[in-house]
Amino acid sequence: MVLALLVSGIVVLLVLLGLFVFGLRRRLIQRSGGTFDCSLRWDVTEPAADPPGKGWVYGVSRYSGDRIEWFRVFSYAVRPRRTLERDAIEVLERRAPHGDEELALLSDAVVLRCALRGTLLELAMSEDALTGFLAWLEAAPPGQRVNVA
């Protein structure tokens, strides 16, 4: 009985420690400011009539100079999973979520179909985050191309 209580206590302690580290990581990412919630779907095929809701990964993006660092929310990694450079992003299309995507994304999400060095990707973010993202893209230093459709 005592052993079972000890093991249960250790398991609860480890779960709480894991949740604490998980929250601490999110705080460290957001500490420098310039972050927004952004779901990502990487290496998307050509648009279909009714895009499936599969492939979306919920994340947090952070502006860092001329690039955006994208972190998975449900991860312990301290490094960004993807880095999107401003001069390599080309916005192809803006649309509302369709079908199963409405369940996979946040309720107020807007989907941007983009190209990044030949790779198609989709970003889903709120309308406010989209405004900031497009302003960031258009605020490129002189001499850099702007790829906003």
Max mean pLDDT among 15-24, 37-46, 56-65 falls in 56-65
Query: Considering only CA atoms, which of 124, 141, 142 is closest in space to residue 66?
Result: 141
pLDDT of residue 41: 92
Q: Residue 28: which pLDDT band, with cuts at 50, 70 and 90? A: confident
pLDDT of residue 143: 66
C-alpha–C-alpha distance, residues 78 and 72, integer Å: 10
> If you search the block for the tokens 């230093």, which residue do you land on?
141
Q: Residue 40: which pLDDT band, with cuts at 50, 70 and 90? A: very high
Q: What is the pLDDT of residues 100-145, one digit of tens each?
A: 888 888 888 999 999 998 889 999 999 999 999 999 998 877 766 5
Bridge-based pairing of strands 109-116 and 59-64 is unpaired
Q: Residue 146: which pLDDT band, with cuts at 50, 70 and 90? A: low
Length of the chain: 149
Q: Residue 24: which pLDDT band, with cuts at 50, 70 and 90? A: confident
C-alpha–C-alpha distance, residues 126 and 107, integer Å: 9
